[in-house]
Amino acid sequence: MAGLGVASTQILPSVSKLPYIKIAAAADVRQEALAKFHKEYDAEVFTSFEEMCKSPNVDFVYIATPNELHARHVIAAAGHGKHAIVEKPMAMTLEECEAMNRAAEQNGTKLLCGHTHSFDPPIRKIREIVQSGELGGLRMIHSWNYNEFMYRPRMKHELAMSRGVVLNQGPHQVDVVRLIGGGMVKSIRAATGIWDPRRPHEGSYVCYLEFENGVPATLIYSGYGFFDTAELFEWVGEGGQPRDPATNAKVRKRLSGITDAEEEELLKEQMRYGGRREGEFSHEWQGERHQPFFGFTLVSCDKGDIRQSPDGLIVYGEEGRREVTLPPGSRGREAEVEELYQAVSNNRPVFHDGRWGEATLEVCLAILESAKEKKEIFLSHQRPVA
């Protein structure tokens, strides 16, 4: 585990339960987090990423370090013969992506780009239905998400490096729509919004994209915490757990009581590995879960429409409305690790590989470029769905 920040609190609990995985090591700069990790997992700890990669006990590294370090760490891992999963965004530039892919290819290591909601069972099922042709040809895709992202505890540097929601949350929506649409985005036109001077980074975007086959899609995201798309989804949260209808208001109110960066950093520290996570900032949920839900996605075909439901999909066809209930299946980080495990153990190709991740990042960067230049941006690094 590279980086014992907030992401690690979501990764470790589910991954550590997999029968084919042993948590072997962690690298971080926080000594108290390393001490807790060593005690909890009886594993090696390092303050140097490179030193961890030298360990013979490590087969693959889950990279959840700050965004600007992703490229350096993937390249270092590959140089030591370690497979890697890298958190979103894959990198900060397409040039970094190219270097990461070259390193993995030259060293014969597997590189998987996570985490995104294209791993979710309902999204994979939508792709399956579209690909089967049972509803005729694909005509358009729309994905909307409204939540309180901009008012969760964030360091100013973190928001700056992720360009607010665009590079942090954008990969989720882009991956979902690219998977359903076949992967090959031709061009995009987008606008972003910076609406709150307390958070002087992109908190919203509207994106119109078109696939090479002419299918259009829209991506809409707002992290400003007023309307909540979970209201349209029986108050099911992103991870499938119940979502408090007052979440947005509570998070906005809590931030309004923070007067300086040090207070916010203290609050953020509570969310990292070893911190005290509670209330609306906790990623832990032990109760019953529905299917994961990252916004409201509606897919239209010649003979019907498809959307998610709390436990699967709803299909609107010529014979009316029917619900497709799906088993829980693997999701999130568990699904990512399973894909990498199968690729390594059975020498299968990684679907969400570095080239797929590069294509997703290209769309996200094009959102920023289109918003700045106020023009349509044409893409050249896209990859089709395998």
Residues 131-181 have pLDDT tens digits of 999 999 999 999 999 999 999 877 778 889 999 999 999 999 999 999 999
Asked whether residue 210 carries a pLDDT value surpassing 50, the answer given is: yes
Query: Which residues fall within 8 angstroms of residue 171, CB to CB, at 6 or more apart?
Result: 88, 89, 90, 116, 360, 361, 364
How many CA atoms within 13 Å lie on the side-chain side of 268? 19
CA distance 359 to 19: 32
DSSP assigned state of 4: -
Domain with CATH 3.30.360.10 in the chain: 118-326
Question: Quick one: pLDDT at residue 268?
Answer: 65
DSSP E strand stretches across the chain: 25-27, 44-46, 60-63, 83-86, 111-113, 138-146, 185-193, 204-211, 216-222, 296-301, 304-309, 312-317, 320-325, 377-378
Ranges for all domains in the chain classified under CATH 3.40.50.720 = 6-116+332-362
Query: Of the candidates 6, 61, 122, which has an alpha carbon nearest to the alpha carbon of residue 336?
Result: 61
Pick the CATH number of 118-326 from 2.30.40.10, 3.30.360.10, 3.40.630.30, 3.40.50.10950: 3.30.360.10
Across 204-229, average pLDDT: 98
- According to CATH, the superfamily of the domain at 6-116+332-362 is NAD(P)-binding Rossmann-like Domain (3.40.50.720)
**262 has pLDDT over 80:** no
Q: What was the pLDDT predicted at 281?
A: 41
pLDDT classification of 102: cutoffs 50, 70, 90: very high
Angle at 219 between CA 336 and CA 124, to 5 degrees: 35
Q: pTM here?
A: 0.94
pLDDT digits (tens, 9 = 90+) for 62-89: 999 999 999 999 999 999 999 999 999 9
Which range among 76-90, 97-111, 213-227, 287-301 shows the weakest confidence by mean pLDDT? 287-301
Average pLDDT over residues 270-287: 58
